[in-house]
Amino acid sequence: MKLFAALLRTLIRKGQLTVIDAAGRTHRFVGSPADGPPVTIRFTDHATPRRAALNPALALGEAWMDGRMLIEAGDIRQFLDLIGRNTHWDDDDAVRLNVWRPWRSSAGPFAAWNWQRRSRRNVAHHYDLSDRLYALFLDADWQYSCGYFPRPNMTLDEAQAAKRAHIAAKLDLRAGQRVLDIGCGWGGLALYLNRVAGVDVLGITLSEEQLKAARARAAAAGVGDRVRFELCDYRDVQGRFDRIVSVGMFEHVGPPFYQLFFETCRSLLIDDGVMLLHTIGRSDGPAPTDRWLARYIFPGGYIPALSQIAPAAERARLWVTDVEVLRLHYALTLDHWYDRVAAVRAEIVALYDERFFRMWQFYLAGATNAFRHDAHVNFQIQFTRRREALPLVRDYMGAAEQQLAERETP
């Protein structure tokens, strides 16, 4: 406990944390008392605090999953939020730079080498979980990516509907166009684009479970001839498309394949084609993936910095025509997901077990912390093959978005 206590004494400048060790001794770490609710954790064994001092991200996540760390006041989201407030990404944060960074746990350099066979295996690890799990916490359209919150106090379904319209507006769609949706999920965006813009969509995924659900949704909507879904790697797509959209998939490409990804997309676009990439990103520059997240949630996952995306697109000779940074939108989305997961604990435990529930809870709480306090954001980047492909000013986006929003309002 001594090493972990020494770390916390240096770390805690905001809020109050109480730690009860396996011998029952109480250790208090007090920063600014008005900064967030106090949190109390208990360790059930003597080894975990030392592991946590040497490798916080991995050790604390595993201790929470295994029940070797318990929360006696607050919850796991509040505990990670307290840590996040004390390691907040800022250029003058000496605690983060000098204390936390040396202990950061990260996956090895080869983790993001996502060859085709490995990509399919990695996708199956996360996205081929039971559809019942995702139905318990996602919105009605099953959007498993950052929502868009242009107004305060929006519901999850409202934010995801706003996200769909925001993306569609940036695609500058015309009826009859062919759209490629790379990483189509359960098909919600593809079906939406067909419904509001009259476009034909090919959605591709590496998840067999998502494929089955997406095809069933298209058939139920009576648009199976215009909205098709295939089990296909982006490297194997054939044909030409007027538009390409990719939401929440680029995080699974990996830096060694960024240039290939953009070269492939360029080859698939017609000369006047437009592409919209929506991806989680980093504002603090390139960094390896957190080891706990890579081991338990997203094997092969990697969050790119803008400084990694732009050079790859430049080498592929794509025009970057618009960049938007969504900062706290994913934190708000994750708050909704966490609350929904907490409310259906019994159902998730029955579906899997208690350890899985705690793992999923830690994942959502940790992700919330990353977007609220760390350097995580979402990038929406628009690309074209030709500089003349879109209007010279971006007003067309707002006008189209307003029309789409009005069209969807009952």
Name all domains of the chain by residue range, CATH numbers in brackets: 2-103 (no CATH), 116-408 (3.40.50.150)
List, for residues 230-277, the tens digit of each pLDDT value: 999 999 999 999 999 999 999 999 999 999 999 999 999 999 999 999
Paired strand residues for 201: 179, 227
Q: Per-residue pLDDT averaged across 363-390, rounded?
A: 97
- At residue 130, the pLDDT reads 87
Length of the chain, please? 410
Up-side HSE of residue 276: CA atoms within 13 Å toward CB?
A: 24
List, for residues 5-57, the tens digit of each pLDDT value: 999 999 999 999 999 999 999 999 998 876 789 999 999 999 999 999 999 98
- Residue among 262, 308, 269 at smallest CA distance from 288: 308
Q: Are the C-beta atoms of 405 and 151 separated by less than 8 Å? A: no
What is the number of other CB atoms lying within 10 angstroms of the CB of residue 320? 15
- At residue 101, the pLDDT reads 52
Q: Which residue has the tokens 């690309």?
A: 383
Average pLDDT, whole number, for the chain? 92
Give the Cα separation of 254 and 263 in Å (integer). Answer: 15
Least confident range from 72-81, 85-94, 161-170, 209-218: namely: 85-94
Q: Per-residue pLDDT averaged across 280-295, rounded?
A: 92
Cα-Cα end-to-end distance for the chain = 58
Q: Per-residue pLDDT averaged across 327-331, rounded?
A: 97
Q: Per-residue pLDDT averaged across 142-170, rounded?
A: 97
- At residue 304, the pLDDT reads 97
DSSP 3-state of 129: coil
Q: Are strands 376-384 and 269-282 parallel, antiparallel or unpaired?
A: antiparallel
CA distances from 118 to 112, 254, 289, 372 (A): 10, 11, 17, 31
Q: Per-residue pLDDT averaged across 370-399, rounded?
A: 96
φ/ψ (deg, to 5) at 95: -65, -45
Least confident range from 72-76, 101-105, 233-237, 396-400: namely: 101-105
pLDDT at 178 over 60: yes
- Confidence grade of residue 115 (pLDDT, cut at 50, 70, 90): low
- Confidence grade of residue 102 (pLDDT, cut at 50, 70, 90): very low
List, for residues 58-98, the tens digit of each pLDDT value: 999 999 999 999 999 999 999 999 999 998 887 555 555 55
Q: Which residue has the tokens 């934190």?
A: 331
CA distances from 220 to 214, 228, 231, 233, 301 (A): 10, 13, 19, 25, 33
- At residue 105, the pLDDT reads 52
CA distances from 215 to 140, 218, 225, 244, 283 (A): 17, 5, 11, 19, 37
Read off the pTM. 0.93
- At residue 35, the pLDDT reads 76
